[in-house]
Amino acid sequence: MGRIIDGKAIAAELNSENAEWVQKLIQRGVTPALAVILVGSDPASQVYVNAKAKKCAELGIRSLKFELAADTTQEELLALVRKLNCDPGVDGILVQSPPPPQIDEEAVVEAIDPAKDVDCFHAQNVGKMLIGRTDGFFPCTPFGILKLLEKSGVDPKGKHAVIIGRSNIVGKPMMALLLQKAAGANATVTVVHSATPNPEEYIRSADLVIAALGRPKFVTGDMIKEGAVVIDVGINRVPNADNPGKTKLVGDVDFDSVIGKASLVTPVPGGVGPMTITMLMRNTILSASRRADRIEAEAAR
Ligand code: NAP
């Protein structure tokens, strides 16, 4: 019987480090600040934006929330991004996804100053990550997964990692991070996707499975090698059989059948989810720490 990786507990531990780091920066005269832009009033996006603001408040990070009308034009949004780029007191900028259809999301991301791109969606930061540079940022969900592995004593070195899904937010950056010739990585990585015939054939040979495809309970116990580590990124809302008329959240992994084969499994909720916001906070603090270093270097000249 496998053990559960408690993402909530690991996130709480990292957040207490985050809060201490913020206090040290405040003593150096820099209060980390995160600007979050929400265009329109999508209820799910509002929940995410509010959760980010709440976490900032808990950690002592200044949060700036910009709620723009659903008919905001591309130019208006870009003007706000440029203004925030130039604001020396802002360390991180993000535009909540998905924006309304008149907005070209890629162009907006490219307009964010890479030094403030704490989501790590800007091509410059994605490129840095791919070639193994650490002077950009790591994207929050895959970065959170690396931390979950580290805190659970799992070293990916030499292991066969199979990632299910190749999105720009999860699958591809997860591949890039696990592949690096670096501590906490150094895995042999296979990525399967919707055009892969029989993905279960790859999954069965995996020491580490990272499921990020958005299909409820896709990964079942019969696909899992005895003792494998299984990370479930999926968040799927499905009808709740125990409570008719209500829904519940399930992952991409069939937890009940997998826990009997795997050595470690993340639950949904309470696994990867809490880590994503934690790493967003960490990236914001990292950006603020670079700002403090710049100010001190300037003063020492
Ligand atoms: P996405 O953009 O929809 O990408 C899904 C990927 O899975 C695609 O690459 C797709 O292949 C692949 N796929 C779909 N069906 C498949 C199948 N039957 N077999 C193999 N591959 C298949 O999703 P995402 O943004 O990466 O998110 C994935 C899941 O993680 C979602 O449930 C999402 O809600 C969740 N998520 C959670 C967090 C968190 O913080 N916990 C963060 C981000 C996402 P193609 O490329 O060929 O279409």
Output the CA 212–ligand 1 centroid distance in Å: 5
Pair (151, 66) in one structural domain: no
Evaluate whether residue 211 is within a structural domain. yes
* CA dihedral of 103, 107, 109, 114, whole degrees rounded to 10: -160
Place of tokens 């509010």: 50
pLDDT in tens, the chain (301 residues): 899 999 999 999 999 999 999 999 999 999 999 999 999 999 999 999 999 999 999 999 999 999 999 999 999 999 999 999 999 999 999 999 999 999 999 999 999 999 999 999 999 999 999 999 999 999 999 999 999 999 999 999 999 999 999 999 999 999 999 999 999 999 999 999 999 999 999 999 999 999 999 999 999 999 999 999 999 999 999 999 999 999 999 999 999 999 999 999 999 999 999 999 999 999 999 999 999 999 999 999 9
> Domain check: are 92 and 169 in the same one?
no
Residue among 96, 145, 202, 233 whose CB has most ligand 1 atoms within 8 A, to mutate: 233
Task: Say what the pLDDT of residue 1 is.
Answer: 86
Is residue 96 annotated as a catalytic residue, yes or no?
A: yes
Given this model, what pLDDT does residue 121 score?
A: 98
One domain, residues 77 and 189: no
Q: Please check whether residues 212 and 156 belong to one and the same domain.
A: yes
Q: Verify that 89 and 166 share a domain, yes or no.
A: no
Q: How far is Cα 229 from Cα 5, in angstroms, rounded to an integer?
A: 10
**Is 119 one of the annotated active-site residues of the chain?**
yes
What span, in angstroms and rounded, lies between the C-alpha atoms of 19 and 45? 25
What per-residue confidence (pLDDT) applies to 171?
A: 98
CA 75 to CA 80: how far, in whole Å? 9
Residue 254 domain boundaries: 140-273
Residue 4 lies in a domain: no
Determine, yes or no, domain membership for 283. no
Atom of ligand 1 nearest to the CA of 170: 26
Instruction: Quote the Cα angle for 91-93-97, to 5°.
Output: 155
Q: Which of 91, 117, 119, 252 is catalytic?
A: 119
Cβ contacts of 51-55, under 8 Å, gap ≥ 24? 51/277, 52/277, 52/280, 55/15, 55/277, 55/278, 55/280, 55/281
> 165 C-alpha vs ligand 1 centroid, how far in Å?
5
CA nearest 136: which of 145, 124, 144?
124
Q: Which residues contact 107 (CB under 8 A, 6 or more apart)?
A: 74, 78
Residue 218 lies in a domain: yes
Ramachandran sector of residue 40 (left: φ over 0; alpha: ψ -120 to 50; beta: rest): left
**Tally of domains in the chain:** 2
Active-site residue among 6, 91, 96, 217?
96
85 backbone dihedrals φ, ψ, rounded to 5°: -55, -40
Whole-structure pTM value: 0.97
Do 220 and 258 touch, CB atoms closer than 8 A? yes
What is each CA distance from 212 to 44, 81, 193, 195, 207, in whole angstroms? Answer: 19, 30, 10, 15, 16
The CATH number covering residue 212 comes to: 3.40.50.720
Which position has the token pair 């201490």? Answer: 20
**Residues contacting residue 214 through CB under 8 Å, at least 6 positions apart:** 165, 234, 235, 236, 252
Residues 96 and 155 in one domain: no
Q: Find out whether 260 and 225 touch, Cβ atoms under 8 Å.
A: no
Same domain for 90 and 190? no
Per-residue pLDDT at 184: 98
Q: How far apart are the C-alpha atoms of 177 and 142, rounded to whole Å?
A: 8
9: three-class secondary structure by DSSP: helix
**Residue 55 domain-assigned (yes or no):** yes
